[in-house]
Amino acid sequence: MSEIKLVNCPEDGISAVKFAPNSSQFLLVSSWDTTVRLYDVNDNTMRMKYNHSASVLDCCFQDAVHVFSGGMDNTLRQFNFNTNAEVAVGTHEAAIRCVEFCPEVNVVITGSWDCSVKLWDPRGPNQAGSFSQPDKVYTMSLCGDKLIVGTAGRRVLVWDLRNTGYVLQRRESSLKYQTRCIRSFPNKQGYVLSSIEGRVAVEYLDPAPEVQKKKYAFKCHRVKEDGIEKIYPVNAIAFHSSHSTFATGGSDGFVNIWDGFNKKRLCQFHRYPTSIASLSFSHNGNLLAIAASYMFEDSDFKAPPPEDAVFIRKVTDQETKPK
């Protein structure tokens, strides 16, 4: 089977799918139904589940046993899958939108709609710092010991996690519309940013003019229907760790794989039943987790939305390797 659908999927919107750091067996899934679920994708079972008191917007692994999650209850939680122990680590003043673990600095990072990013020491676990952002945090990506933060107002900030006393770089998105997702290159030299208006930008961190000349943007996730081009948000980006190619997922229900350095699309998968909300490659790049989950983009939508589902797709070098 090149693709399976996971059983016991969440009962409301899926906010994030994340593979374990060193195993392609375990997948963490957070949802608007207030749950965080752990799946064994090898035998298609849900191994564990725990709850927040409100919708969960993001989650991450610290290691094979400990995970963190945050959401609309403004609370960062740590869960231990071996002991079932759950800890409320700390809070923000508003919803936690992003949760990441940085192994280089051994710190958990949360980005919130309260316009702040907080650092947490997982050994406590307790708060290890807080620094304010210019607006609500929409997306974050780790780039070694640097953190790239995308906020409302199309702002992008680059922070050094070893010294958060000042901002390394303040940027503006090169795209005209709201930022949806940022993910950094595996080689740590830049990042890919997507917007709600069917576009993706490839950006470089080095401010030198000859490096900045390499940046570009392209249109994608646009579908001609009845002679009209419909433009969809690009909700998700995931990098293949060894090939440095990346997948994008849009509200058009499509997943595309791109070779960012050679500026071309390598493949497009079949259309999924609804919007692609989140994507994650396994550490070895053999599997891609695809969350198909309606995001209520259409204000006139009357029918019951399609069920929320997570698909695990086996991907080949032919689909993910630069030609």
Q: Which residues contact 165 (CB under 8 A, 6 or more apart)?
A: none
Report pLDDT digits (tens) over 271-286: 999 999 999 999 999 9
* Strand, helix or coil for residue 318: helix
Nearest CA to 292 out of 255, 239, 320, 319 is that of 255
pLDDT at 299 > cutoff 90: no
Contact 15, 31 (CB under 8 A): yes
For position 297, what pLDDT does the model report?
76
Higher pLDDT, 137 or 306: 137
For position 180, what pLDDT does the model report?
98
Task: Please give the average per-residue pLDDT across 250-255, as a whole number.
Answer: 97
Band of residue 124 on the pLDDT scale cut at 50, 70, 90: confident
pLDDT at 114 > cutoff 90: yes
- pTM of this structure: 0.97
Q: What is the mean pLDDT of the chain?
A: 95
DSSP of 126-163: EEEEEEE-SS-EEEEEEETTEEEEEEGGGEEEEEETTB
Give me the percent of the chain exceeding a pLDDT of 90: 93
Annotate 232-243 with b (16+ C-beta within 10 A) or e (fewer). bbbbbbbbbeeb
pLDDT at 1 > cutoff 70: no
Band of residue 306 on the pLDDT scale cut at 50, 70, 90: confident
Report pLDDT digits (tens) over 2-45: 999 999 999 999 999 999 999 999 999 999 999 999 999 999 99
Report pLDDT digits (tens) over 186-221: 999 999 999 999 999 999 999 999 999 999 999 999
pLDDT at 303 > cutoff 90: no
Task: Please give the average per-residue pLDDT across 119-148, as a whole number.
Answer: 95
